[in-house]
Structure 1
């Protein structure tokens, strides 16, 4: 009971800084002597700091002491392993970065990528002037289906990992706990912690890049499914007739929706229209095609409209099942989506009577933040959320 009460007090002050012991007692319905004793313990342990109020009490007595959470009591590490780059950072409990580094994934993949990640984490901790004992743990986001309980990456095509024992390898290299999850799930956690999903309990995170992914937070917690494959909407079929016919699967293992709205699929259709070869794909990234569509290029506009039609119908299907408070669109292609969001919403509103907010992410470093927040979600301690 003592641990539970200390945890209640800690989380209350995290959300309501500057409260007095009396205010905490009233808010949590815990006796004032108990509150005072536990607050003193939390101060001695470094979780809280107190500051004398600038005003006297209403009765004219001595000034109360206000209690604040110490965001620098401990630190966490967030790592986002992407097909193109690996981003990692050390941050405090508020999500403020101490140090950050970005590496090229493909450049280090042929070497020992996990060892390189561990070396860089240790380097970041040293540069932050911290000790390992101050680190609660590291959270890792991986682009693939991941068994979060065993720490095994079942399949990450862009990394060439199959049944890869990631946590076991990192446990041998790092002196603190390591937690791992799918990259879209950690992006959803980032939005829940610091972005458009803050203070919301039912969130859909859609990421648009090479393919399309979906992270689901239901009743405040990640929903991962029976085999950790919930949200793999890249396999969703949004056109029965097109699915029954032969269509180009962009990469082995990618699904129908991936092959119609992913960046490489948009590029491939543009090159096909222009009748140019794949060697020119670097000249026509999806971002350029979106820009051409916005500028009024009819061919680019037709290609983008078709892709966004598939996206809109996919959102209709998922929203109708999950009934989220908000849908947040992120990933590399999201930066090109603002101009087309009204069109997507028009299609959704036409077919779906459920009112749902759909927004483009505004949060930088969302996956790194989410990976760090994964530690706070999974690590069993007084901080666990």
Structure 2
């Protein structure tokens, strides 16, 4: 066997052993050998390497064997061996965190996007990452790399944001700028793509193969997982639900809330609801406030939100009819009004789809983008640990 092939097989087997220990939480060398159909000497040698590299930890003994012989040693995964910096750059806020290898968010920060967008965005990101690093008492060498999400179509191979209307970015070299800032490996993708990865790894989408994640916030976007794999499309723009036209009578005459926004997000997003309410009431009304007024029976709020949700429900219903997912997950700021949205969508879905689909709220709060960014890193990084 050539040395290259031997090294590759060794790496693959180490990944399998790590995966086995992570899934079982605690396991013995003998159990690993049996499960993976590898020889005990091979497993023992590879486990010793993984212990030396601090991927695995020996945690004492499991129950004694029936004949009273030597107790086998249990192995556990060392989730604190390394860390990932996750960055979710939204149109309203930038949310950042440092996770361990299990996806646990060990530190979290956020700051307003627009305040720093045009002059010191990356300096502010670095300041917060260094603050979290100091809080956790870790070094940059403890951080494997960075995952980042942005609200726009992103060429993941080149690390370039093709277009992000909420940030006014076009052909923006974000990966290069993050590498220059941190000198670490960096992977960047659309923010809803990272969210669907996060939900599949640690959230309500765990153990599901076909998932749709829809984010309703400043805009409306979605991430799509087909047969357990993130589907990005031929031009990295799969899942751009915000561009769906859900009313044929208005589709040619709509006015985008932000330049570059599609029809659906211009009539059903949080920014659309906020803008319409603010114009009606001649004061600044947030989407959250609009939903509060809706619950109180405010006439203008009911009219605007019912119209927005009618369009959103049609968009989601079409999605379900096309892709037949196991699960639709709703996230984003407006998902805070999940009970209202859920009822409207389910009423429309029952009328029009060939198959029903479960619709649930995201399992994460503000930290969802950070977990998703870490999931993106592990999904793309060619290291020993894979999710």
Aligned to 2:249, the other structure's residue is in SS state helix
Q: CA deviation at 1:366?
A: 0.4
Q: CA deviation at 1:6?
A: 0.9
Greater mean alpha carbon deviation, residues 292-301 or residues 165-174:
292-301
- Which of 262, 275, 281 is equivalent to 1:255? 262
CA contact (8 A) 1:206 1:213 kept: yes
Q: CA deviation at 1:248?
A: 2.9
Q: CA deviation at 1:294?
A: 2.3
Aligned to 1:33, the other structure's residue is in SS state helix
Greater mean alpha carbon deviation, residues 297-306 or residues 13-22:
297-306
Q: Which residue in 1 is equivalent to 2:6? A: none
Unaligned stretches of 5+ in structure 1? none
Q: CA deviation at 1:334?
A: 0.2
Cα deviations across residues 92-131 of structure 1 (Å, max 9, x unaligned)?
A: 1112233322222122123231233234323432332112
Q: Which residue in 1 is equivalent to 2:164? A: 156
Cα RMSD after superposing both structures: 1.7
Question: Quick one: structure 1 residues 269 and 169, their matched pair in 2 at CA, closer, same or farther if it must change by over 3 Å?
Answer: closer
1:121 and 1:299 map into 2 onto residues whose CA distance is: 43
- Residues 129-140 of structure 1 mapped to structure 2, 5 A cutoff: 129-140=137-148
Unaligned stretches of 5+ in structure 2? 1-8
1:324 and 1:215 map into 2 onto residues whose CA distance is: 12
1:165 and 1:121 map into 2 onto residues whose CA distance is: 20
What TM-score do you get using the length of structure 1 for normalisation? 0.93
CA contact (8 A) 1:138 1:375 kept: yes
Question: Quick one: structure 1 residues 94 and 149, their matched pair in 2 at CA, closer, same or farther if it must change by over 3 Å?
Answer: same
CA contact (8 A) 1:118 1:170 kept: no
Greater mean alpha carbon deviation, residues 52-61 or residues 232-241:
52-61
Q: Which residue in 2 is equivalent to 1:294? A: 295
Aligned residue pairs total: 378
Cα deviations across residues 131-190 of structure 1 (Å, max 9, x unaligned)?
A: 222111001111111111111111122222211111112222212101111111111122
What TM-score do you get using the length of structure 2 for normalisation? 0.92
Q: Which residue in 2 is equivalent to 1:39? A: 47
Greater mean alpha carbon deviation, residues 147-156 or residues 47-56:
47-56
Q: Which residue in 1 is equivalent to 2:136? A: 128
Q: Which residue in 2 is equivalent to 1:103? A: 111
- Residues 200-215 of structure 1 mapped to structure 2, 5 A cutoff: 200-215=208-223
Aligned to 1:108, the other structure's residue is in SS state coil
Cα deviations across residues 230-255 of structure 1 (Å, max 9, x unaligned)?
A: 111111011112214x2332121111
Q: CA deviation at 1:54?
A: 4.5
Q: Which residue in 2 is equivalent to 1:270? A: 277
CA contact (8 A) 1:203 1:216 kept: yes
CA contact (8 A) 1:338 1:360 kept: no
Question: Quick one: structure 1 residues 3 and 305, their matched pair in 2 at CA, closer, same or farther if it must change by over 3 Å?
Answer: same
Question: Quick one: structure 1 residues 106 and 354, their matched pair in 2 at CA, closer, same or farther if it must change by over 3 Å?
Answer: same
1:191 and 1:40 map into 2 onto residues whose CA distance is: 33
2:109 and 2:303 map into 1 onto residues whose CA distance is: 39
Q: CA deviation at 1:271?
A: 4.6
Q: CA deviation at 1:297?
A: 3.3
Q: Which residue in 1 is equivalent to 2:18? A: 10
